Amino acid sequence: MSDAEEIEALAGEYVLGTLNAAERAAVAARRSREPALEAAILTWERRLAPLDGGAPTVEPPHGLFERIMTEIEGLPAREAGGAEIIELSRRLRRWRTAALAGGAVAATLAVALLRENFRDEGVQRPEASNYVAVLQKDAASPAFLVEVDFDSRILTVRPVAAAGQPGKSYELWMIPDKPGPPKSLGVIADNGFTVRPTLSGYDASVVENAVYAVTLEPRGGSPTGQPTSPPLWTGKLVRATP
């Protein structure tokens, strides 16, 4: 991990609150004398600010933190090879922090883009109980935005950076979290919004917990009712409105 990546990850941990008290105090002291770290922290705060009011405050059960720490301290990290295990655990925590924050940022951007594009095109959209997903290969490559209104089960899809392919169609699939084949949610329009009540026949828990994927199919969609190519972009829904 480069110095820049280390600073970026540390800033993300600081803003997300995943550091322990001693680590947080050390970062707070460093930010006053390290402009790069200060800038990274401010950037993370701006990225995550739109999510601050997006979820209700939940009081954790009494003693939860102490129970978590007891479990962590009981792990064999202090035995042979402990230093290496501790460092590996720290790196893993940072990878998870980056993934969590990346998903949060992507969801925030998705909500903003969907709302702005709807306004630009004069499309009527449902406002209640919305969930959103960014279908992507990685955090830097969003291809489609998906929004679901849970009250009406209306699905809205908008291409972001996926270029059309001659003689081909992009098809959206829902992959339930229980065993079973993917469910086709239809072909995605080459331009503009695709809006349809495709999810009306599914329970809310199935819709919320599924993975959504896009494949490249023959023009008009898969002729077999199942994907004929590997998924190109995937994502999961996150709540976008309180």
- Residue 117, domain member (yes or no): no
Q: Do residue 152 and residue 93 come from a single domain? A: no
Q: Do residue 154 and residue 197 come from a single domain? A: yes
Per-residue pLDDT of the chain (242 residues; tens, 9 = 90+): 567 778 888 887 888 777 778 888 899 999 889 999 998 888 877 766 655 554 555 566 777 667 766 666 565 544 445 555 555 455 545 544 444 445 555 555 555 555 555 454 454 444 445 888 888 876 556 788 888 888 888 888 988 878 888 899 999 999 988 888 899 999 998 877 888 888 888 888 888 889 999 999 999 999 999 999 889 888 888 877 55
What are the tokens at 105? 């940022």
- Domain tally for the chain? 2
Say how many CA atoms lie within 13 Å of 157 toward its Cβ.
27
Whole domain around residue 181: which residue ranges?
126-239
Q: Do residue 17 and residue 79 come from a single domain? A: yes
- Residue 180, domain member (yes or no): yes
What DSSP state is assigned to residue 45?
H
Which CATH number does the domain housing residue 134 bear? Answer: 2.60.40
Question: Looking at the whole model, is its pTM more than 0.95?
Answer: no
Q: Do residue 100 and residue 180 come from a single domain? A: no
What are the tokens at 194? 């695709």
What are the tokens at 121? 């095109």
- Residue 116, domain member (yes or no): no
